[in-house]
């Protein structure tokens, strides 16, 4: 175990979850943070990092119908009191990683074994033959990552990642070109648009300080997806087929044009685990982000929940000035984060069905969609985060 002067934290995975946790733990001098990733991008406070990453303030979100008898009608506009920002994920990741000491960022490190004796350091073994001793390990290496397997046990039915039944594809287009293809009217304000179609959903928003538009096409998987197939190349014929049952509108044609601006257009399955993880911790090892609760993107909560994970872990780890009872900290983390995140996993899946016009008893009926959707976000955005941190500390005291 570490000396009384520091607690050595090893974060496995340099994606958004791991980078956010590393960034937020930097201000605590008693925590010695190291991050390990097979390929790590080189990346201040989280409140500033969005600005440096080119975040664009969204005045509102507008959801429209693209199929059915109400095609081209607006479902509703959402305008938050506190306006959110949309940012390119890779740019945000780079900014989060910048403050980390280069010596604490370990690249080309693929974890293959964890020796976590009850007493003494946890020894991490990597494919290159090197090892690393830590007091605590946080797995942020994804739903198919090594740490999830270690925490749950390789035979646990929640370990294998399985397709959620949806695919998505993304195309990044310069703003001026996007205006030409989609129409100037969709960029008069910084608004996120979503389009409910027959079996397929389409959305677009502005990134990179207003220079780039992100287009996302999401659909229901069909029999053409083979078992174990996680991605497909998309050409014009494939995109046209995806929207072939949509009502004929100007937006339908524009979707095909904007998506094909990507020279290497691919569709990827949305991952999930078909059974909820029974725990997010094992001794002094825990999992966060997709490694704990991989979710479909339909409620835009995957990144947000990873950030909440980091917030709670920081709150708990701040309590320990020595390596102490880190097992208790991770148990408290599991107690407060697992119920919330798994509720969102299931809610997001149901929201995806509605967005693709396949909600049970809802279909493409605009009135039923208006009734079904709004309340699905209330429990996510309405949470009092200060109270959530207090809940974690209260759980820690009970252990």
13-35 burial: b if 16+ Cβ within 10 Å, else e: bbbbbbbbbbbbbeebebbbbbb
pLDDT tens for each residue of 165-220: 999 999 999 999 999 999 999 998 888 899 999 999 999 988 766 789 999 999 99
Of residues 62 and 60, more confidence is placed in 62
Question: Which domain covers residue 378, as residue numbers?
Answer: 7-53+88-160+273-398
Confidence of residue 5 (pLDDT cuts 50, 70, 90): low
- pLDDT beyond 50 at 1: no
**C-alpha distance across the termini of the chain, in Å:** 21
Range scoring the smallest mean pLDDT among 69-83, 135-149, 254-268, 381-395 = 69-83
Range scoring the smallest mean pLDDT among 2-6, 200-204, 315-319 = 2-6
Signed CA dihedral, 19, 33, 38, 306: sign only? negative
Range scoring the smallest mean pLDDT among 30-39, 41-50, 74-83, 307-316 = 41-50
Are residues 387 and 287 both part of a single domain? yes
Are residues 185 and 114 both part of a single domain? no
Confidence of residue 227 (pLDDT cuts 50, 70, 90): confident
Are residues 23 and 138 both part of a single domain? yes
Domain count, the chain: 2
pLDDT at 321: 77
pLDDT tens for each residue of 330-379: 999 999 999 999 999 999 999 999 999 999 999 999 999 999 998 898 89
pLDDT at 224: 81
Are residues 322 and 372 both part of a single domain? yes
Enter the tokens of residue 119: 């007493």
- pLDDT beyond 90 at 311: yes
Query: CA 60 to CA 86: how far, in whole Å?
Result: 11
Are residues 168 and 36 both part of a single domain? no
Query: CA 237 to CA 163: how far, in whole Å?
Result: 23
- pLDDT beyond 60 at 163: yes
Q: Which of 231, 250, 271 is the last residue of a domain?
A: 271
Q: Which of 271, 300, 330 is the last residue of a domain?
A: 271
């Amino acid at each position: 175990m570490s000396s009384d002067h520091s607690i050595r934290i090893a974060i496995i995975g340099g994606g958004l979850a791991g980078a956010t946790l590393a960034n937020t733990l930097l201000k605590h001098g008693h925590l010695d943070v190291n991050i390990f990733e097979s390929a790590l991008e080189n990346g201040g406070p989280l409140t500033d990092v969005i600005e440096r990453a080119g975040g664009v303030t969204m005045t509102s979100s507008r959801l429209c119908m693209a199929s059915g008898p109400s095609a081209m009608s607006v479902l509703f506009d959402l305008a938050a009191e506190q306006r959110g920002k949309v940012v390119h994920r890779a740019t945000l990741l780079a900014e989060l990683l910048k403050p980390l000491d280069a010596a604490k960022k370990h690249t080309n490190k693929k974890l293959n074994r964890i020796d976590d004796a009850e007493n003494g350091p946890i020894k991490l073994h990597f494919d290159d033959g090197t090892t690393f001793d830590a007091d605590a390990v946080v797995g942020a290496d994804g739903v198919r990552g090594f740490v999830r397997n270690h925490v749950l046990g390789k035979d646990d039915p929640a370990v294998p990642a399985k397709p959620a039944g949806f695919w998505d594809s993304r195309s990044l287009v310069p703003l001026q070109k996007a205006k030409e293809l989609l129409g100037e009217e969709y960029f008069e304000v910084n608004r996120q648009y979503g389009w409910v179609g027959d079996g397929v959903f389409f959305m677009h928003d502005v990134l990179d300080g207003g220079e780039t538009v992100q287009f996302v096409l999401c659909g229901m998987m069909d029999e053409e997806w083979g078992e174990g197939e996680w991605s497909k190349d998309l050409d014009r014929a494939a995109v046209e087929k995806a929207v072939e049952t949509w009502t004929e509108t100007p937006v339908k044609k524009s979707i095909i044009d904007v998506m094909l601006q990507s020279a290497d257009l691919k569709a990827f399955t949305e991952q999930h685990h078909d059974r909820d993880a029974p725990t997010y911790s094992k001794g002094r090892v825990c999992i966060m982000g997709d490694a704990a609760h991989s979710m479909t993107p339909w409620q835009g909560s995957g990144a947000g929940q990873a950030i909440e994970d980091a917030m709670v872990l920081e709150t708990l780890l701040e309590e320990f000035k020595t390596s102490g009872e880190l097992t208790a900290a991770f148990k408290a983390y599991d107690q407060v984060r697992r119920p919330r995140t798994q509720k969102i996993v299931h809610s997001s899946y149901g929201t995806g069905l509605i967005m693709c016009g396949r909600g049970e008893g809802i279909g493409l009926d605009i009135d039923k969609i208006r009734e079904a959707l709004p309340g699905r976000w209330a429990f996510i955005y309405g949470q009092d985060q200060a109270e959530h941190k207090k809940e974690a500390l209260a759980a820690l005291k009970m252990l």
